[in-house]
Chain A
Amino acid sequence: MPKQTFVLNGERVTVKVADSERVLWVLRDLLGVTGPKYGCGINVCKACTSHINGKAFNPCSVKVGDLQPDDEITTIEGLADTADGDLHPMQEAWIDRDVPQCGYCQPGQIMAAVALVRKVQREGGTITESDLDGIRNICRCGTYTRIREAVRQGARRM
Chain B
Amino acid sequence: MHESDTSARSTTERSHSDGGEVVAVGPAGLDRRRFVGYVLGGATLVTAADLTLGRAPARGAVPSLPQIPEIYDLEDLQTDAALPTSQLITVTIREDGTAAFELPRMEVGQGIVTSTAMILAEELDLPMRKVEVTLAPARPELIFNQLTGGSNTTVSTFTPIRVAAAVARQQLLEAAAARLGTDADRLSTISGTVVDAAGNAIPYGELASDAASQVVKQVGVTLRPREEYRVIGTGRKRTDARAAVTGQKDFATDLDVKGAKPTMVCRPPTHRGRPVRLRNRKQILKMKGVTHVAQVPTGIAVRAKTFGQCIDAIRKMDVEWDLGDLAGENDESILEGLRAAELPMAVPDVPILAEQVDLGFEFMFRSSAALEPFAAIADVREDRAEIWAGLKVPILAQQNIAQILGMSQDQVKVNVVTGGGSFGHKLFSDHAIEAAQISQAMGKPVKLMWHRADEPRQGRMHPMCTSRVRATMLAGQVLSFEQRHTSVVTDFSHGLGEIITSTIDEAPTEVGRYLGGLGFSETIFTLTQELPYNLGAVTQLLNETDQRFSTGSMRNIYSPDVCVAAELTMDELARRMGKDPLELRLELCRNDRVRAAIEAVAERGNWGRKMPKGMAQGIAVHKEYKGCTAVLVEIDCRPRTVDRKVRNAVTGPRVTKAVIAVDAGLVINPIGLEAQMQGGFMDGLALTLTSSCHLEDGRFLEASWDNYFYTRQWNVPPEMEVIVMDPDVDQPGGAGEAAVGSSAAAVACAYARATGEVPTRFPINHDTISFRPKSFIPPVPKSPTNGLKFTY
Contacts and interface: CB of A to CB of B under 8 A. Distances in A.
Interface of A: 17-18, 20-22, 24-26, 28-30, 32, 34-45, 47, 52, 55-63, 66, 75-77, 79-80, 87, 91, 94-95, 98-107, 110, 115-116, 119, 129, 132-148
Given A91-B245, A103-B244, A103-B420, A43 B791 contact: no
8 contacts: A30-B305, A55-B792, A57-B791, A100-B245, A110-B245, A133-B714, A135-B713, A145-B720
- Give the residue among B242, B419, B646, B787 with the most A Cβ atoms within 10 A: B787
Interface stretch (B154-162, B188-196, B397-405, B777-785): B777-785
B253 A38 contact: yes
Interface string B695-739: 000000000111000111110111010000000000000000000
A60 B710 CA distance: 21
Nearest to B242: A95
A69 to B, nearest CB: 15
B785 A62 contact: yes
A42 B680 contact: no
Contacts of B484: none
Given A18-B288, A56-B791, A102-B419, A40 B716 contact: no
B785 A142 contact: no
A136 B714 CA distance: 8
Given A34-B250, A98-B241, 10 more contacts: A21-B309, A29-B307, A34-B253, A42-B784, A44-B706, A57-B790, A63-B785, A100-B109, A107-B247, A136-B713
Q: Which 9 A-B pairs have the closest CB atoms?
A: A35-B247, A102-B109, A142-B682, A104-B420, A103-B244, A61-B787, A142-B679, A76-B247, A101-B109
A26 B307 CA distance: 9
Given A30-B306, A95-B237, A144 B713 contact: yes
A137 B711 CA distance: 11
B243 interface: yes
Nearest to B114: A98
Contacts of A37: 251, 371-372, 420
Contacts of B249: 103
A99 B372 CA distance: 17
B208 interface: no
A60 B452 CA distance: 13
B111 interface: yes
A115 B642 CA distance: 29
Contacts of A119: 792
Nearest to B236: A98
Given A22-B308, A77-B246, A80-B246, A57 B675 contact: no
Interface string B627-648: 0000000000000000000101
B278 to A, nearest CB: 22
Contact of B791 (A28, A30, A52): A52
Nearest to A147: B713
Nearest to B256: A32
Contact of A21 (B308, B646, B786): B308
B254 to A, nearest CB: 4
A95 B245 contact: yes
A39 B311 CA distance: 14
A60 B714 contact: no
Contacts of B305: 29-30
Contacts of B237: 95, 98
Interface string B676-690: 001111110000000
- Give the residue among A18, A55, A101 with the most B Cβ atoms within 10 A: A101
A47 B247 contact: no
- Give the residue among A20, A25, A56, A115 with the most B Cβ atoms within 10 A: A25
A133 B718 CA distance: 9
A6 to B, nearest CB: 13
Nearest to A61: B787
B110 to A, nearest CB: 7
A79 B682 CA distance: 29
Contacts of B648: 44
Interface in B64-119: 107-111
B116 to A, nearest CB: 16
Contacts of B372: 37, 39, 102, 104
Contacts of A144: 678, 682, 711-713, 716
A47 B784 CA distance: 15
